[in-house]
Structures are given as structure tokens and as C-alpha cells.
Amino acid sequence: MQEVNAALERSGVPFTPNTSLHTYTTWKIGGLCDLVVFPRSVEEVSACICIFNTTGIPWMIIGKGSNMLVSDEGFHGAVLRLSGAFDTVSFRDDGVTAGAGYSLITLSLQAAKYGFTGLEFAGGIPGTVGGAVCMNAGAHSSDISQTLSRALVMNETGELITLEAKDLNFGYRNSVIQHNPWVVLEATFSLLHGDRTVIVERTRMFKEKRMRTQPLKQPSCGSVFRNPLPLFAAEVIESCGLKGHSIGGAKFSEIHSNFIVNTGGATAKDVLALIELAEVRARQEHDVTLVREVLFVGFN
């Protein structure tokens, strides 16, 4: 790690060593990582990837830290957290381009403010634009794939690639980004103009529905499992009698069963035990396979 730290210092990229990742996840769970790096430009991201490739250190990227469970042992490697130029947005007549570190909720609200339709569904989804593109985030029968035009990506060798929407192989909570060591740098969305009053009201309605039906006042990662269509994961979990069930400081929410909340002092081990319990019970009692929507970090 001394070699990595020295190289980062020479490159001028800000970083912090030996950092607890619980402060960077919405679950407020996770052990130490060797260093968190904060590249502020495309050039600094490229420099980081070059350093990681040269030294062989494992690395990953993190946005708002939703949809992620970090092990109690942490992550032995480097975590990239985009800042600076990646927290920007630019509206045009036919849509918007946003940096990967930009808040998806803020983007949705701003689009509504300017009278653009297409991102109303995202008004209550925590996370960044980059994370949303990576996992094809969605809600209310819509998702990122329906409005994304293209994404600027850096591959594992530091090369910039522009991927059109068709190149991202979007699926349900899935994209090609998840299966490659690439970094989303910015995303461009094609949006249509509409009645600003209607769009703002629709965005507000979606956001308020999430506030009523999800435990947003407690730390969670969002939905734990993908919906086993045509069923909903929440109804499967509840039918197994697990709504409100807890292990340690982790509990299946009584507001929404597909959310595991940190009631205080929950560990990754507690959360994983609940996840595995739900998977076993769903198979045994309903012959349903629950597929995890959560990214597991630092687990063997």
C-alpha cells in the first residue's frame, strides 16, 4: 500500500487511508478499506486505474453506497468515489447530461422543474447517476434504460468509450457495466418537454408514495431482492412470516418486507443471515428463488 499511496500523492489525487466504509454506505455497515480515493477529473480517474493496474491492488467504485453490503472485515483494496467534475449537470433542449457522481433524486427533481418528462420515477431513488446506469435503476414500471441515450465510460485500461443505450445490454436491474471493470463517468438522457405542472405533480406523487411505503427513516440499502415476477419479493417474504423478523441489529422492515433495516448496531453478518433465511424459506415454502439485488463487497 505504501507504493500505491506514494503514487497517488505524486499524481495529486486526494485519498484517505484506512477508512471505515460504514460512513459511505446507506446501510451504515462495513469494515475498513485500505484507502478511499476521490478523483476529480477524467485524467485523475485514468491515473488511478493506471496505478491500480501497475500495483495489482483490487479496486472498486462507490457512489452513494446504496444497494451495497460491505463485510464486517471490510475491503482490502481501493475504493473510488467520484467528485469534482463528476457532480455536474447540463440541460439542453432535448435532454440532460449529468456526471456519474450526481444525485439521481436531484436530477429527477431538476428535470421536472424544467418541464422535462421521463425521469419522474427516479424522484425517490437514492444513489448516483453512475450507479443508476450500472444497475438500470427503476421504479413505478419505468427505469433508466427508457430514457438513457448514451454513457461515457472508462474501461480497465483507462480508455474512454462512449456506449449507446443499445450497447449497455440493459435488463431488469442489470447492464453490461456490472460485468466489466468499467467506470461510468457521465450519462446523457433524451427527455421530452411536457406540462411542467403535471410533471412536477407526478414526481411529487412518486416521491411521497416511496416515503409512505418504504422505511426511509432507517438505514437500509433499498430493495434487497429482485422481484420474482410476476410476484413481488416483499409479498413472498411476508408470506414466509418474516415481516418484522430480526437477527441482531438487522430486521425485515414492518413497512416494506423487501427492506432490511439497521435498527442500531447491525453487522453485515446479521444482514447476511436474514438474506439467507429468506432465500431458504422462499424455496421451501413457495418454490420461489429470490435473487439478490445487493452488491456484496469484501466477502469471500
Domain shared by 37 and 146, yes or no: no
Q: What share of the chain is helix, strand, coil (3-state, %, to 5)?
A: 35, 25, 40
CATH number at residue 99: 3.30.465.10
In this structure, is residue 38 part of a structural domain?
Answer: yes
Span 227-265, pLDDT tens digits: 998 999 999 999 999 999 999 999 999 999 999 999 999
Domain shared by 48 and 24, yes or no: yes
Task: Indicate if the pLDDT at residue 124 is higher than 90.
Answer: no
Domain shared by 106 and 148, yes or no: yes
Between CA 178 and CA 214 the distance in angstroms is 26
In this structure, is residue 224 part of a structural domain?
Answer: no
What average pLDDT does the segment 23-44 reach?
Answer: 96
Residue 3 near residue 55, CB atoms below 8 Å: yes
Catalytic residue list contains 293: yes
- pLDDT band of 171, cuts 50, 70, 90: very high
Range of the domain at 252: 233-297
Residue 133 near residue 165, CB atoms below 8 Å: no
Of the candidates 44, 120, 186, 293, the residue annotated as catalytic is: 293
CA-to-CA dists, residue 107 to 39, 110, 114, 184, 202, angstroms = 21, 5, 11, 16, 15
Of the candidates 150, 173, 202, 281, the residue annotated as catalytic is: 173
Count of domains in the chain? 3
Task: Indicate if the pLDDT at residue 172 is higher than 90.
Answer: no
Catalytic residue list contains 223: yes
What average pLDDT does the segment 157-172 reach?
Answer: 94
Domain shared by 260 and 154, yes or no: no
- pLDDT band of 126, cuts 50, 70, 90: confident
Span 130-155, pLDDT tens digits: 999 999 998 888 999 999 999 999 99
Domain shared by 18 and 98, yes or no: no
Choosing from 68, 84, 100, the residue where a domain stops is 84
Domain shared by 145 and 205, yes or no: yes
Q: What pLDDT score was predicted for residue 210?
A: 86
Pick the residue with more confidence: 282 or 208? 282
Residue 229 near residue 255, CB atoms below 8 Å: no
Of the candidates 223, 253, 257, 281, the residue annotated as catalytic is: 223
Catalytic residue list contains 226: no
Choosing from 56, 84, 112, the residue where a domain stops is 84
Task: Indicate if the pLDDT at residue 161 is higher than 90.
Answer: yes
165 DSSP β-pair partners: none
In this structure, is residue 78 part of a structural domain?
Answer: yes
In degrees and rounded to multiples of 5, residue 143 shows phi and psi of -155, 180
Nearest to 142 by CA among 170, 112, 183, 100: 170
CATH number at residue 32: 3.30.43.10
The mean predicted confidence, pLDDT, of the chain is 95
In this structure, is residue 105 part of a structural domain?
Answer: yes
In this structure, is residue 6 part of a structural domain?
Answer: yes
**How are beta strands 68-70 and 295-297 bridged, if at all?**
parallel
CA-to-CA dists, residue 130 to 86, 184, 224, angstroms = 9, 5, 19
In this structure, is residue 221 part of a structural domain?
Answer: no
Choosing from 23, 58, 84, the residue where a domain stops is 84
In this structure, is residue 130 part of a structural domain?
Answer: yes
Q: Tell me the CB-side half-sphere exposure of residue 77, using CA atoms within 13 A.
A: 20
In this structure, is residue 219 part of a structural domain?
Answer: no
- pLDDT band of 162, cuts 50, 70, 90: very high
